């Protein structure tokens, strides 16, 4: 089978597939246009975020039998149309769930203890102790929205802290266990001190976190987002930060990322984006939560196992 590697993936995936007799062509350094020009020659394709496999581009891939996404998010693939065409769609959320969970915990601890702010101050010659007094996690109620691979992994990371973990997932039943209590969204609105998002980007979740959503919380909250930037309406987030309804936010993803999850620094920045960049109770990282060295290798291994079940 001829397999097109459209984007970077750990070298072990191509190595293992070649050992099984498959031909793997590496287009990771080629442009999206070059990938889409060649796509019709291949029966399998490995993608990240370089290209969008919409109906038009799927139709170009007239030999394609499967699409494998390195990572969890499938929003760059028209999955329903691919299925209509008999194309199997795979992803690897199991491979980077621990990385995302640990990064989320790191963001939360940094936010509560002013670590980023204090680090910058010390390096600039300021030694401000009372101004950087932190907050303990102990006794807090953490609400996890989306309890799939990354949401449940984040809950496991929290087991060593004296916290209550409430989780809501519209599409999963029986998520309660020894450290998670599955609840309705209304209970999260009533009890949560911290909200962490672990959702795919869909029509349903696009800008789900808006003013109406935020104002349903009984308490003033902290917000964590290591899922997809467009789940949060940034204009409404800024309003909530200004009113202190949201006391702080830690975001690994931003609404303003392009399709390949790159920044828009080369464009005029939206006022809300500028506010986030200049606000001390907001921590930003560049969509790296799932990008550990270990996760790269694990995602390749997960995809290999899934692909080989299809093609042998």
Catalytic residue among 257, 268, 296, 297: 257
Which residue's structure tokens are 């409404």?
236
136 is catalytic: no
257 is catalytic: yes
Letter string b/e over residues 155-180, b meaning 16 or more CB atoms within 10 A of that residue's CB: bebbeebebbbbbbbeeeeebeeeeb
Q: Report DSSP letters for the chain, one per residue.
A: -EEEE-S---HHHHHHHHHTT-EEEE-TTS-HHHHHHHGGG-SEEEESSSS-B-HHHHHH-TT--EEEESSS--TTB-HHHHHHTT-EEE--HHHHHHHHHHHHHHHHHHHHTTHHHHHHHHHTT---SGGG-----TT-EEEEE--SHHHHHHHHHGGGSS-EEEEE-TT------SS-EE--HHHHHHH-SEEEE-----TTTTT-BSHHHHTT-SS-EEEEE-S-GGGB-HHHHHHHHHHTSEEEEEESS-TT--TTS---TTSPPPHHHHHHHT-TTEEE--S-TT--HHHHHHHHHHHHHHHHHHH-
228 is catalytic: yes
d(CA 175, CA 167): 8
Give me 14's structure tokens: 């191509």
Catalytic residue among 287, 294, 296, 297: 287
Catalytic residue among 228, 255, 268, 296: 228
Q: Which residues are catalytic?
A: 228, 257, 287
């Amino acid at each position: 089978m001829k397999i097109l590697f459209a984007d970077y993936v750990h070298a072990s995936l191509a190595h293992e597939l070649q050992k099984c007799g498959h031909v793997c062509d590496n287009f990771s350094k080629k442009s999206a246009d070059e990938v889409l020009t060649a796509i019709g020659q291949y029966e399998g394709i490995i993608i990240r975020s370089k290209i969008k496999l919409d109906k038009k581009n799927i139709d170009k891939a007239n030999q394609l039998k499967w699409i494998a996404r390195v990572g969890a998010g499938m929003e760059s693939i028209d999955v329903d149309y691919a299925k209509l065409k008999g194309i199997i769609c795979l992803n690897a959320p199991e491979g980077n769930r621990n990385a995302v969970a640990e990064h989320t915990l790191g963001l939360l601890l940094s936010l509560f203890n002013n670590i980023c702010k204090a680090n910058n101050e010390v390096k600039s010659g300021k030694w401000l102790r009372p101004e950087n007094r932190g907050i303990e996690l102990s006794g807090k109620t953490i609400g996890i929205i989306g309890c799939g691979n990354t949401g449940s992994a984040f809950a496991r990371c929290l087991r060593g802290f004296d916290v209550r973990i409430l989780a809501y997932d519209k599409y999963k039943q029986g998520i309660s266990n020894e450290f998670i209590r599955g609840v309705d969204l209304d209970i999260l609105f009533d009890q949560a001190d911290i909200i962490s998002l672990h959702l795919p980007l869909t029509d349903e979740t696009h800008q789900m976190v808006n003013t109406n959503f935020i104002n349903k919380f009984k308490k003033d909250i902290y917000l964590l987002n290591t899922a997809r930037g467009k789940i949060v309406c940034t204009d409404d987030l800024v309003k909530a930060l200004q009113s202190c309804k949201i006391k702080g936010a830690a975001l690994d993803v931003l609404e303003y990322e392009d399709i390949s999850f790159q920044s828009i620094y080369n464009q005029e920045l939206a006022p809300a984006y500028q506010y986030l960049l200049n606000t001390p109770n907001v921590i930003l990282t560049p969509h790296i939560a799932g990008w550990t060295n270990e996760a790269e290798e694990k995602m390749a291994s997960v995809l290999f196992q899934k692909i080989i079940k299809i093609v042998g």
